[in-house]
Amino acid sequence: MGSPIKAQIITCRTKQQGTVDIDAQLIILVTQGEVEIVHNGIAYPLRQYEVYFMSLTYSHLQYYAQENTQFMVLTYTKSIATPLPIHFGIQEPERILSLAREVLDLSTSIFVEDNLLQQAKLYELVYQMTHHYLRQQMSTTDHIHYVQQYIDTHYNEVLSIKALASLAQMSEKYFTEQFKKTYGSSVMQYVTQKRLHVAKHLLSQQHMTLKEIAHAIGYKDEFYFSRRFKQEVGVAPSEFKKNRQQKIAVLDSSLLGIVAPLYVYPEIAPIHLTWRNYYYEQFAVDVKVKLLVGRAPHIVANNIKQLLFERTHVDTIFTYPCTPIQIQQLQTLAKVVVIDEKSDWQTQLVQVAQTLQVEVEATQWLQHYKNVAQKTAKLLQRQQKQCFLMLLVKGHEIYLYQDRMVRDVLINDLQLQAVITEPVAELVVVTVDDLLQYDPDFILLLVYEDAVSRLTYEQLHQHDLWQEMRAVRQHQSYEVPHFPWRDYAALPHLLIIEQLAQWFAE
């Protein structure tokens, strides 16, 4: 049984011309020297580590090689769809060369089963070439973002400036400059911050030794980890862990957005797999008593009834205002702290931090939020995204929308300008005709999840007048999720800013 893949290496000591027969697809990879490929009267000069890739069927191909030239030729019958152009170069070719040689070696095997291995290696080769080509098309910002995501998932490995700069396909100097310009901190500071962020979660959630935590975040020595932790956080890991041994309960899921930045994990909380799934993923393992999500009086009453029945021990219960009788019932279980819903989110965060004696974490988190907001504000300013329109689609109607979350984040923190300059005290119905008078840089839409609202949203998108709006024509219309956009707390504020930064960075 013959191989469906033909592979050969052509070595030219002197100038040479010849032809290559083609079955269906062809890859030519130059390992040394220069060769010119000609088909349909068009010449493609190839130098070392450049590739000629053809996905159409031709009977043969001409080549003209210079002296001391060597190139690999792979032809195969099975078509593989890729976004590769006909002619491109490859940076860091070691892996690709290695795979090409493996395909070449397997072409001489007498074992039938090696045909499968050769095909697998060919697919991997095409994948690697595609990956390298697409990486080369990325902008500087794309490359920096790629490395940032790599750090976020490989923080527990040995990371060096040299290796990360190589990933970004930049010189070390240019990479470090661009990374700091993009993220506001040096590369290794970012690595340290990521590692300590994970360490805080592990100290708060799990019964792990300092040595185990140090190894889990990429440090070999728990003593070095302790020194870095105290240097960056302000307290020793043991003290940080001790401060989070307090057992707490929160009676509203929005309160999770206050305790999360403080790395405090409640014993009792309202969480649901669907509603605010973000919190479910973060807290579900640690929450021993899972309450119902919602603020309707009957839900609050049922949650308090469940607490009274189970009598799970906690030190402090955090709640938004409820009836005096309900407060008295909760006080039979633990200390009760009532969070004023009308106060701003910073005040709420500080109040909870003071109660739990973790003010340092609140201060650091507020500074982090400020830095991220300032960086995102500059990004939006550079991209001329200064004026926005926010709409609510509910039932058969479309409303102008501007709650205090929108005013806090977009207007106050990001210094954006709302099309509606006056605060919207109540929902104001607008038609598509009304919207034409506005000319925002971008549009945000909050859509209720019921079938009628979704249909209204689809009809809006199909309306000719909607399609005429500048922001819509420029694809600057975004549907925003209910979480975090309708959850007034510290963490949702940060998540909204990060979401905007991601949208406009792309």
What's the confidence (pLDDT) of residue 309?
92
Domain range spanning residue 34? 5-136
> Final residue of a domain: which of 340, 357, 374?
357
Does 252 lie in the same domain as 225? no
The dihedral built from the CA positions of residue 488, 182, 366 and 211, taken in this order, carries a sign that is positive
Does 408 lie in the same domain as 451? yes
Does 186 lie in the same domain as 267? no
The identity of residue 45, as a single letter, is P
Task: Supply the CATH number for residue 318's domain.
Answer: 3.40.50.1980
Measured distance CA(341)–CA(321) in Å, rounded:
8
Which are the contacts of 468, defined by CB distance < 8 A and separation ≥ 6? 436
> Final residue of a domain: which of 88, 108, 136?
136
CA nearest 317: which of 331, 305, 303, 306?
Answer: 331
Measured distance CA(83)–CA(95) in Å, rounded:
20
Measured distance CA(431)–CA(397) in Å, rounded:
8
Which are the contacts of 250, defined by CB distance < 8 A and separation ≥ 6? 256, 259, 266, 268, 269, 270, 317, 318, 319
Does 22 lie in the same domain as 52? yes
What's the confidence (pLDDT) of residue 326?
95
Does 392 lie in the same domain as 451? yes
Per-residue pLDDT of the chain (506 residues; tens, 9 = 90+): 456 788 889 999 999 999 887 767 889 999 999 999 887 778 889 999 899 888 765 567 889 999 999 999 988 877 777 777 788 888 778 888 999 999 988 888 888 888 889 889 999 998 888 887 776 766 677 788 888 889 999 999 999 999 998 888 788 888 898 888 877 789 999 999 899 989 988 888 767 889 999 999 999 888 999 999 988 888 889 888 887 788 999 999 999 999 999 998 899 999 988 878 889 888 888 888 999 999 999 999 999 999 999 888 999 999 999 999 999 999 999 999 999 999 999 999 999 999 998 898 899 899 999 989 998 888 888 778 889 999 999 999 999 988 899 999 999 999 999 887 665 556 788 998 888 888 899 999 999 989 999 999 999 998 989 998 999 988 899 999 999 999 999 999 999 999 998 888 75
Q: Do the Cβ atoms of 72 and 35 come closer than 8 Å? A: no
Does 350 lie in the same domain as 273? yes
Task: Supply the CATH number for residue 151's domain.
Answer: 1.10.10.60
Return the SS3 of 19: strand
Task: Supply the CATH number for residue 97's domain.
Answer: 2.60.120.280
CA nearest 64: which of 39, 89, 92?
Answer: 39
Does 84 lie in the same domain as 12? yes
pTM flag (> 0.85): no
What's the confidence (pLDDT) of residue 503?
84
Measured distance CA(127)–CA(80) in Å, rounded:
10
Does 373 lie in the same domain as 297? no
Does 229 lie in the same domain as 275? no
Does 501 lie in the same domain as 369? yes
> Final residue of a domain: which of 197, 226, 244?
244
Q: Which H or E element spans position 181?
A: helix 172-183
Does 126 lie in the same domain as 77? yes
Write out the DSSP string of 82-123: ----SEEE-SS-HHHHHHHHHHHHHTT---TTHHHHHHHHHH
What's the confidence (pLDDT) of residue 423?
58
The identity of residue 504, as a single letter, is F
Does 380 lie in the same domain as 350? no
Number of domains in the chain: 4
